Amino acid sequence: MQKMKALVKTKPEPGGVEFLDWDIPKVGPREILIQVKAVGICGTDLHIYDWADNIVREYKPQLPLVMGHEFAGVVVELGSQVENFKVGDRVTVMPVLYCGECYFCKDGRQNICDHRPLLGLGANGAFAQFISVRSMNVFKLDDSVSFELGALSELTCVGLHAIERARLTSGETVVVVGPGPLGLMMAVLTKHSGAARIFMTGLEADRERLEIAKQIGATPIHVEKEDPKKPILDYTGGLGADVVFETAGSSSGVTQSLNLVRKGGRVCILGQGHESTEIPTAMLSFREIELVGTRAYTPKNWQTVFHTLLNGEDDLKRIITHRFPLSMAEDGIKKMKNQEGLKIILLP
């Protein structure tokens, strides 16, 4: 059996990873073997690295497990029943392995499938030189999309699905709570969706990230220096934002979102926090605020993702702050945990 290098979660505890020689996966009849060219470190990877209770309960990961799920690469081998792909194709992968048979899959909502292992959590992932994936989850990349940009496909699709769920329309005022990689992605995507004005809130510790938000075109608000409601109410004539995207995954972020949205507006929850949140339901009722949950994406978000990557390329490149060889994957994880980078790309 040929070997490759991979970052593997081997112990059910915080840390507990090893950089190992690992078997190159075999290719089933309907699978594609992909040489990984670029793979991003995601917040979910930090949760599995920390062995967070909510992730362990949701995905029930079986160790040892190759981590990672945001990637792009090149097709190097095809299963005997694979059609419409050829060796050498440049591709990216939807990492949610939905069943296709449950009520939700048949309703076009594969993102909330009853049986949905995720690469890097419920199946071996892409912090490796090679990965084998069923062909129905593989999508071609346009030749003009770099592998690094292709590795942003997953995060981009998360944002595209959130915009659909929130029913964002051109000309609306948007607030993004939290200037992490997902928050900055929402700033990029709402900008290119025609938002009239985008505000982004963050802490003083986020000042470098808020500067990137400003470069993208959002108006940064340091919530420790000023009441975030004032500039938003001033801009909207006292109404508040049409749509607020909560990406911080914190109880305070949800509370802040409810205070910044207008009557009849929408608050879309993307952040997956570890703590419960007390929500004043009377506020939802009296102000007719819509609280919208969103999770991952559906295959239709992936079918045209490369168009979005190309259209937003200049802004999206700002989100990538560091590049490491695969052998330094754990260093990249630790850097993200310390909030020293935004999107960190590993290059196998």
Strand pairing report for 138-140 and 219-222: unpaired
Residue 133 in domain: yes
Based on the fold, state whether residues 265 and 175 are members of the same structural domain: yes
pLDDT band for 251, please (50, 70, 90 cuts). Answer: confident
pLDDT in tens, 64-80: 999 999 999 999 999 99
Burial 270-295 (b: 16+ CB within 10 A, else e): bbbbeeeeeeeeeeeeeeebebbebb
Residue 264 Cα distances to 91, 171, 177, 286, 290, angstroms: 41, 16, 19, 10, 7
- Regarding whether 131 and 186 lie in a shared domain, the answer is no
Q: What is the CATH number of the domain that holds 279?
A: 3.40.50.720
Is residue 171 located within the same domain as residue 289?
Answer: yes
What is the distance between the alpha carbons of residues 186 and 137, in angstroms, rounded to a whole number?
A: 24
Q: State the helix-helix crossing angle for 207-216 and 181-192, rounded to 10 degrees.
A: 20
Pairing of strands 261-269, 70-78: unpaired
Q: Is residue 303 part of a domain?
A: no
Confidence (pLDDT) at 297: 97
Beta bridge pairs of residue 320: 343
Least confident of 57-61, 224-228, 310-314: 57-61
pLDDT at 3 (0 to 100): 95
Q: What pLDDT was estimated at residue 304?
A: 87
Query: Does residue 299 lie within any of the structural domains?
Result: no
Is 216 a residue whose pLDDT tops 90?
A: yes
Segment 12-40, tens digit of pLDDT: 999 999 999 999 999 999 999 999 999 99
Residue 272 has pLDDT above 80, yes or no: no
Task: Identify whether residues 121 and 236 lie together within a single domain.
Answer: no
CA angle 342, 290, 105 (to 5 degrees): 70
* Residue 87 shares a structural domain with residue 114: yes
In a domain, 147, yes or no: no
314: which 2 tokens? 């200049």
Q: CA 27 to CA 33: how far, in whole Å?
A: 6
Residue 161 lies in a domain: yes
- Token duo for residue 282: 């009377």
pLDDT at 324: 97
Q: Is the pLDDT of residue 171 over 80?
A: yes
* 60 falls within a domain: yes
Are 57 and 166 within one domain? Answer: no
Tell me the helix, strand and coil percentages in the chain, rounded to 5.
Answer: 35, 30, 35
Residues 81 and 107 in one domain: yes
The domain total for the chain is: 2
- Which alpha helices (DSSP H) does the chain contain, by range? 43-50, 53-59, 103-106, 147-150, 153-166, 181-192, 207-216, 229-235, 251-260, 281-287, 299-303, 305-311, 313-316, 329-337
User: Domain limits at 340?
Assistant: 3-140+312-347
Residues 268, 336 within the same domain:
no
- CATH number assigned to the domain comprising residue 326: 3.90.180.10
Query: What 3-state class would DSSP assign to 202?
Result: strand
Instruction: Measure the CA–CA gap between 71 and 154, rounded to whole angstroms.
Output: 8
Q: What is the pLDDT, as a whole number, of residue 274?
A: 66
Domain co-membership, 113 together with 212: no
Q: Do 107 and 200 fall within a single domain?
A: no
Mark whether 221 and 330 lie in a shared domain: no
- Per the domain annotation, does 298 fall within a domain? no
pLDDT for the residue numbered 175: 98
Query: What pTM, to 2 d.p., does this model score?
Result: 0.94
Is residue 71 one of the residues assigned to a domain?
yes
Provide the CA 7 distance to its chain's centre, in angstroms.
20
- Together in a domain, 162 and 126: no
Contact 296, 161 (CB under 8 A): yes
